[in-house]
Amino acid sequence: MADANSADLVLASASPRRRELLEQLGLVLEVTPANVDETPRPGERPADYVKRVAAAKCDAIAGARPSDRPALPILAADTIVIVDDQILGQPTDEADARRMLLALAGRRHDVTTAYRISFGGRTLDRAVTTTVAFRSLRPAEIDAYVASGEWRGKAGGYAVQGRAGAFVPELRGSHTNVIGLPVAEVLADLQALEALPRYPPAAFGVRSQP
């Protein structure tokens, strides 16, 4: 975890993918995962669900942050895969991963990430949706992907930045959104709130080679 005095942003998420997307831009993060109930409510639409969970994560961290800590922007996000107006979360086991891949194969689905930023007494909410097309998958491909274990911890049971990229002939919208965070939109909103005074660092924080 970064020294709070040097951090640019509080990331209210345990996702290593969100952390990597932000850190590769040279941002120094204070990672403080939020613990909230992510159970969908009866009859709750996917779009409403993902916005509610993202907001709850941000508010939980903002409300618990000690007053003597530096005033940093807080970012929380939640990502879901939607097919037939149903939420595909993270598979619970291999059978669940197989079920999800079969549901996605040969068709399009939506990936929505909702996020909330809290800074300086203001909050900003946004939801970004990317449409992803899967080609038809042979049974042997599904078997091999499930055996690879890449699906673990991934909404919808796949990682587009990994082996599952071979399943996706078309993607409309933010590519990083499917990974877990629509970086372009997040940065634009943080800048609109004047929440990143040190961004971008020189060479995006990459040290030159001797």
Residue type, 24: Q
| Rounded mean pLDDT, 161-170 | 97
Q: Does residue 127 have a pLDDT over 60?
A: yes
6-40 pLDDT tens trace:
899 999 999 999 999 999 999 999 999 999 999 99
Catalytic residue among 8, 78, 84, 189: 78
Number of Cβ within a 10 Å radius of residue 77: 27
Number of Cβ within a 10 Å radius of residue 186: 26
Residue 67's pLDDT is 79
Contacting residues for 134 by C-beta, under 8 A, at least 6 apart: 104, 105, 106, 107, 108, 109, 167, 168
Residue 189 annotated to the active site: no
Residue 2's pLDDT is 52
Q: What is the DSSP letter of 166?
A: G
Q: Report CA-CA distances (Å) from 182 to 29, 106, 135, 177.
A: 17, 25, 24, 4
Q: Where are the domains of the chain?
A: 9-205
Contacting residues for 66 by C-beta, under 8 A, at least 6 apart: none
Residue 4's pLDDT is 47
Contact 176, 164 (CB under 8 A): no
Whether pTM > 0.85 for this model: the answer is yes
60-117 pLDDT tens trace:
999 998 877 788 999 999 999 999 999 998 999 999 999 999 999 999 999 999 999 9
Residue 66's pLDDT is 83
Decide yes or no: CATH 3.30.360.10 for domain 9-205: no
Residue 70's pLDDT is 80
